[in-house]
Every structure is written in C-alpha cells, then in structure tokens.
Structure 1
C-alpha cells in the first residue's frame, strides 16, 4: 500500500515538471512572436538612404511596383534587392525621365494655350493658274511669223515683252496709197477716207502715226505680252502663217492663283461658298495663305470620291507656282474655345490621341 502511494507521488511530480516545461516553452515562443509581430508592425523610423541622404518613402520590387515594403531587403517575388522610392520623386504618380535621357531623345516642352477657333475640317488642295485672269495674244490680220521671241510653253514673260514679230504684206498697199494722196495735195476728205481704210484693216494707230511722221510704210508689227506671267500656250513657230483671230499664245498671271481643295464626299454637304480657308504649303508649314471659297464645282470625282471647292489666294510675291500641294483648314462661321497644343506633341495610337502633361 505504501509502495503504491510512493509511485503515485512520483508520477505527479513528473507530470508537474512536464507541465512547467511546456508552459515555459509556450511562454517563450509567445513572447518571441509578439516581439517579432511588434517589430513587423512598427515601421522603420530610419527612412533615410545612407548612401544618398535622400528621404525614402518605401521600398519595392520594380517587377511588382504596387507592393510596398517598409525596410530594404530581398524581394519575396524575385531574387533581387528591393529598390527605394524617394520622396522627391513624387511617389508612384506620373512619369519621371532622367535629364540625360531627355537630352538624348530631344524631348522639348511646349505651352498649351486656349484660343477661339472655328469649327471645320482639314482637306488637301493644289494650286492652279487662275483661268479668269488669263490673256491671249491674237493676230487680227493675215501674216507670217517673221521672228519668234518666245521659245517654248511655260516660259516666264514680263508685261510688254515681245512674243513674235509678224509680217503683214496686206498693209503695204493702203499705206502707199495714203502717202500718195498726201503728196498729191488732195483735200482732207480723201485723206480721212484713206485713214479710215487703214484702221479698218487693223493697222495700229501707232503705225499710222509713224507713217505721218516718217513717210515710210511699215509691214511688220511686234506682238507683246499683255501681263506678267507664264506662257501656258504657244501655238506658232518661225515662218508660220497666221490668220485673223488666231491665238498665237496664252499668258496666265501668277499674282493670283486658284486653290482647288478636294473635299471628301462625306463632308460635301458641309461646304458652302464664303467659308474661310487657311492653307499651308506642305513643304513649309510656316507659310500661311488665307482666302474664302468662291465656288463649289459640280460633280464628284469617281476616282477619289471628292468634291472640288475653288478659291483665290494672293501670290503677289510669286512664292507659289501651280501644282503645289497645300494642306487646307476649312472653317465654319462660329467660333469655339479650344486648348491648342503643337501637333508634334500628340501621340496617336490608332484608337486615341494622347498628350503627356508636365506637372
């Protein structure tokens, strides 16, 4: 009986020692976990990079930028060191480009401005000769080209420049008759009739005046350019015979040109005469030419499906020549306030247009 009591007492002592050991281990583990949790929950007080002296907002893995860490170390996602994000970088908002990269890429800044602009659309046009200002050089008599001063079409000429020298044999007889009557001392009525006959034969007044002054008949006349421009037509050659009413040459001026704008068929109903047009030369966008649509040409081109609108543009300094490609902005009557940015600053992706703003 005594032995059983001793065994029971020994068993209780062993059990108590086991319980005390388990309690000690559990308490130690709980204390350690609590301190670690507190350390993890408490943010690091030292947020200054010792290498650069800059204040650090947080550390992150560049491959997973949305996950932030309070202390430096290795990334749990990739086998790489976490990188700091500094306070002077503005955090994760916006885009920051190194100054050296800006210089290498040629990045420039431009100011956005608000301006009243007219609604409209863009189109393409070409310059043409103003056919309403074209002049023709014609012969009023039958004759022969004695000398051709102009050499070929599209030659530039100035006002009064000789085009061709014309020999008119039919002018000889009436002039000799007029000189004979004048030498014979006939009355003024006969001289006036002879004078009227010469004018009826298209002898210029200058030739008749020279006949009275010199007493010598003239059978040659020089046809000259009526305006400064370009010989768009030259229909004769040396020695050719010409008849009354025949056009020898055509001179088109360059001080005013037509701009024929190709308007897409989908916008054809929006175009009206009188709408303003601001055109720029494709080779030099700094050159602006303005005007108003004078008329809408009837018919849609079957090849390009465009409607042609025509306007006059001033070319007094002869900067433009026919055939030049122009980009035209056709504006409406009312104005709208818009933000304007340079076209080279717009990034077009195909679905949208993006502009990067510097804060």
Structure 2
C-alpha cells in the first residue's frame, strides 16, 4: 500500500509540475496559494471559476476548493470558456517548461513509401486444380493390381492396374480383318473406332506390329502425385467410366491463409506472396495469390486467401503450417508515426501543433500500416505537425474543455 501511495504521489508531482495554459477552454496547472488565487490569462485578468477537479479524475467535479479525496493534493479550478487573451485561438496551450516535463514530441506529416505487406498465417493444401481421375474406358474386369494404397506417392506413368476388356479384343479382331483388305479408308475408320473405345495409341500400335489381339491394358498414372482414392481391386468387374483411382499432383501446392476481413481491400489476385515454414528454417518460398474465396468465416471474421507455391522435390506437404507475407507494390503515401494516431472507437484523431505552444485535435482517416508508420488518407496535409508523444494527455484536456475536433472536410 505504501509503494502504491508513493508511486501515485510521484505521478501527481509530475503533473503539477506541468503548467498547462488553456486557450478558449483550457486551464492552468500550477502552484496555488492558501487563498486559491489564480492568474487566469496572459493579461492577468482572472477567469470565472466553474468548478474544481482533480486532473487524475477529471469527471468528478467539486464546488469548493480543497484537497482531492482521491490524492493528497489540492483540487484545480476549472475556468469558463472565452476568458484570457487567447480566446480567439481555441486549443490547448502549453508553455515551454511544461512541454519538456510532459515529453511532448512533434513530428511533421510527410510523403513517403509504404509497402502493402500483411503478415498472416496459413496451412499448406493440395492444388485442387492439379487432379487426375483414372477411369475404365470400357467394361471388363481387373486382372491385376500393383502394390499401391491411398496416400502413396507415385510418379507419372507408374502402373496402377491391368484390365481385361473383352470388347477390346473383338474390336481389334475386326480392325485386323479390315486392314487385310487393303482399303485405306476402311482401315482408317476401323482404327478410329478403336480410339473412340478409349484404346491408347500404344495399344493400337502394338496390335499393328504384332498382328495379334490383346484385350489386356495396363492403366498408368497420368501425373505424378499422391493417390487419394484407389478403387481398383483384383477380380472386380468394371463398368465403362468407373473410377479406378484419384491422384493429386504435387508439382504445386496451395497455401490457404487467413486474412482479417478488415484488410480484405489490401489484397488482390496476382499479388506476390512469400511463405516461411518451421520445417525449413531460413528458407523462403515465393508464390502469388491465385484466389480470394468469396465467403468469410463467421467465427473468426477472416477471408481465405489462396496462394500458389512451387513445390520442387515435393517438400511442401499438405497440412504444414506457414507464416505468409502478402506483399503489394510500394506506393507513395502521406505518413505519420503510428503512435501519433489516437483511435477512440468512433473516430480516429491526431493532435496538431498550431504554433506558439498550442495544440488542437483533428480527425483523420487512416489506411495502411507498416514499419511504425500509418498512412493518412484524409484529414492532414504534408508538412502539418502532429504530436507523437504526450498526445493522450492533450486529448484528454481537449475533451474535458469541449474543444471541437477539426472535421475531415476542414483539413488543408
């Protein structure tokens, strides 16, 4: 309890050392004599006291001077608006010694470059555009299945199953008979029939060379990747169009990143992106945004941004976690330090330096953030100076004295 009182007393002493001279609706913080006689303005003309208050608890008002019930210090008088020499220039006035005690730091708004980079997280998934479906082109049965199972990684051209199709044997016999007639037109028509039955060119060429029919065909993987489903089983009867296997390619993968909906406007299809995975420390994988899904997640209020990454060697495996940097082109912008921006929940303001130690709140509209800087879309002009340290105390006094915030429409 003693430490708390000591800390509070130190804060109070620091505040009492700062002499804040209000303009149209400000106040003096300084020493008061035992009769609470106060100099109200630069001309020495005392202002009318409205009430007394403790600056640490400004919402609590008192009719009489005395000690604060909250802190062991004297209450401070509150003067009516319009008194003093600076009434025509509303704002918060702070003398040089008080500015130094409060640590007020002023920075000019200036044009600069701000890259539209957002850091989000995501997970690796299969590229659903790189999928191959292996089907039976004609009715028959499975004669042999190679040693495969769902989840196995296969290369392009790897055998999956041997199929026996009686229909193919009959069509090949007819083709060889027509070929012996020596009629090129009829031979071409019979060959086209074999193609329409789904017979690969390699099988037709083999029949041409050997002159013998073969109703057996080896089904091979059209692409390299992971077997997702495998419906081929030895001895199973097949119908035309029946699916034997489904293969997902691994040449590229998708990275599904969760983007807060408030930042949806900062990301566009085609934008570059980079990913880092804990499995590969020190490496960065480059990609680009290929889609922004149209539905937002109701529980997390995020959008899914789909990034396509090259997957050399198949090292990126679906399910892996990654941190993603969504980067856009560097664009010129009016920038202020992010610490100078005060967000009240209903609007965003900054404290402007008006000159001669005077400060006034101004409403602004902000944009992107990055590197400790915030983009100002409306409400400020290049060269205007804003308070980057000590602005919250000035904003509290501006609210207490009822100083109107400069609206967006009145900005330079």
Shared fold, TM over 0.5 = yes
CA shift in 2, pair 1:165/1:287, >3 Å: same
Give the equivalent residue in structure 1 for 2:346: none
Give the equivalent residue in structure 2 for 1:166: 163
Unaligned 5+ segments in structure 2 are 1-112, 333-369, 373-412
Contact 1:150/1:164 (<8 A) preserved: no
| Structure 1 residue 176: Cα displacement | 2.4
Q: State the TM-score, normalizing by the size of structure 1.
A: 0.56
Give the equivalent residue in structure 2 for 1:104: none
**How many correspondences in the alignment?**
223
Structure number with higher helix proportion:
1
Give the equivalent residue in structure 2 for 1:133: 130
Question: Is the aligned partner of 1:289 residue 2:285?
Answer: yes
Pairing of 1:91-240 with structure 2 (within 5 A): 118-181=115-178, 185=181, 187-240=183-236
**Structure 1, residues 259-283: CA drift from partner, whole Å, max 9, x if none?**
1101123333333223332210034
Contact 1:280/1:328 (<8 A) preserved: yes
Structure number with higher strand proportion:
2
Structure 1 residue ranges (4+ consecutive) displaced by more than 6 angstroms after TM superposition: none
Contact 1:145/1:167 (<8 A) preserved: yes
Look up the SS of the partner of 2:219 in the other structure.
strand
**Structure 1, residues 292-323: CA drift from partner, whole Å, max 9, x if none?**
22221011112332210011111113221111
Separation of aligned partners in 2, 1:212 and 1:267: 63
CA shift in 2, pair 1:301/1:175, >3 Å: same
Separation of aligned partners in 2, 1:273 and 1:127: 18
Unaligned 5+ segments in structure 1 are 1-115, 340-359
Give the equivalent residue in structure 1 for 2:299: 303
Separation of aligned partners in 2, 1:137 and 1:244: 12
Question: Is the aligned partner of 1:324 residue 2:335?
Answer: no
Give the equivalent residue in structure 1 for 2:257: 261
Alignment root-mean-square deviation, CA:
2.6
| Structure 1 residue 198: Cα displacement | 3.0
| Structure 1 residue 327: Cα displacement | 0.7
